Amino acid sequence: MNVFDTLMLPNGSTIKNRIAKAAMEENMADADQAPSEELMRLYQAWADGGAGLIITGNVMVDGRAMTGPGGVVLQDDQQLDKFRRWARVGRSGGAQFWLQINHPGRQMQASLGQKTWAPSAIPLQLGKMSKHFATPHAMTPSMIEEVIQRFARTARLGEEAGFTGVEIHAAHGYLLSQFLSPLSNKRTDEWGGSLENRARLLLEIVTAVRAVVSPGFAVAVKLNSADFQRGGFTADDARQVVERLNDLEVDLVELSGGSYEVPAMQGEARDGRTLAREAYFVEFARDIQTVARMPVMVTGGVRRRPIAEMVVQSGVDMVGIGTALAIDPYLPRDWLVGKDNAPQLPPITWKNKTIASLANMAVVKFQLRKLSQDKKPYPGVSPLRALLLQQLATACRTRQYRRWIERRSM
């Protein structure tokens, strides 16, 4: 088995190779929080690049709950024509094109002016950066039910627009990940306590989504292999959640890890575990593979074909690539013709790990902006410059988002 073998999903559809463009948050929505022209150009590059699967950055199921001010929102059919065009662009090179659908829970910036909701009223612990995130309110049962229906509605609209699947985001410390973790979920009702209760929201969302989409439409789940926090969601928890997903017609599970508090998706952990420099989560994927009846995908750090080949030869079904495809969107196509491209960003070694993490994300987004402008990426950009530019862009996007909210409330 190699990375250019096809993969058949449980729903009967196929993916042309084992390379996925993993989700990266672009924050490039237009003034209607819909896919922009810049986003179309960015995804055209990835569509031309040869990946078998393309997964979007966060698409929000509720416009009042955003991972970032420039996030794309799909909660009704008002902007569906733009999503139809986006779907055509993403599929133009023969890839499957999935929406990553998400709700941030407590990981929403206070500057957006919206009330923050989470399983429990437990704030983020980010040191001096904590002030940028409000203490969340504990969700009521009726709000939880509304969230379930919102995920289902967004998935149904995504299929109507022409996407071939959705990935339900239950990783990286967002809402569904918050429910799964005993550190952020202190509920004593049916949604908290035991792992069975903490996983209930994810399982009910998967069930609700599958009920409203066609059998050939892919339903995937992005799951933390672990939170990398003492007392948090563990690798054993992840294994048990996957066992529960086995019976729910899930077409693929993507394994990642970490959260805003512990950005393990960037190769860092706080629980003493050392993550490999490439293919961070492969050891967890091999473990999950022993119980998973659906294909497993691993994302985190892969940038060289020999590493990608090692991943699939170890039994993992798909390799997700993010940062490397922000630098070189044509990487799969180049690998196919024998080129040994291995794009990489210079490491950021700042002492403040939280600021360094933000700078790393800003450098990635700098590359995405270049691609969206039909320009060549610049991996050597100063992290400080990228961070400052990102802060300016975020301020502009925040004003744009708040105007959008005001228009919708009139």
pTM for this structure? 0.94
How does pLDDT run across 264-319, given as a tens digit for each residue? 444 443 333 433 445 557 788 888 989 999 999 998 788 999 999 989 998 999 99
C-alpha count within 13 angstroms, C-beta hemisphere, residue 113: 12
Listing DSSP states for 324-362 in one string gives: HHHH-TTHHHHHHTT------PPP---S-HHHHHHHHHH
> What residue ranges do the domains of the chain occupy?
7-346
Percent of the chain with pLDDT over 90: 79
Percent of the chain with pLDDT over 70: 95
Question: What pLDDT sits at residue 62?
Answer: 98
First to last CA, the chain: 56
d(CA 295, CA 21): 16
Query: Do the Cβ atoms of 51 and 13 come closer than 8 Å?
Result: no
How does pLDDT run across 190-211, given as a tens digit for each residue? 999 999 999 999 999 999 999 9
Question: What pLDDT sits at residue 273?
Answer: 40
CA of residue 318 relative to chain centroid, distance:
16
- CATH 3.20.20.70 holds for 7-346: yes
Secondary structure of residue 116 in the 3-state scheme: coil
Query: Do the Cβ atoms of 81 and 41 come closer than 8 Å?
Result: no
Question: What pLDDT sits at residue 279?
Answer: 56
CA of residue 226 relative to chain centroid, distance:
15
Question: What pLDDT sits at residue 220?
Answer: 98
Q: Name the residue with tokens 């024998």.
A: 338
Query: Do the Cβ atoms of 179 and 202 come closer than 8 Å?
Result: yes
What does the pLDDT average to over 359-385?
Answer: 96
Summary mean pLDDT of the chain: 92
d(CA 165, CA 350): 39
d(CA 214, CA 145): 22
What does the pLDDT average to over 43-52?
Answer: 98
Alpha-carbon separation of residue 189 from 43, 65, 139, 180, 407 (angstroms): 42, 23, 11, 14, 37
What does the pLDDT average to over 171-179?
Answer: 95
How does pLDDT run across 326-368, given as a tens digit for each residue? 999 999 999 999 998 899 999 898 988 778 888 999 999 999 9
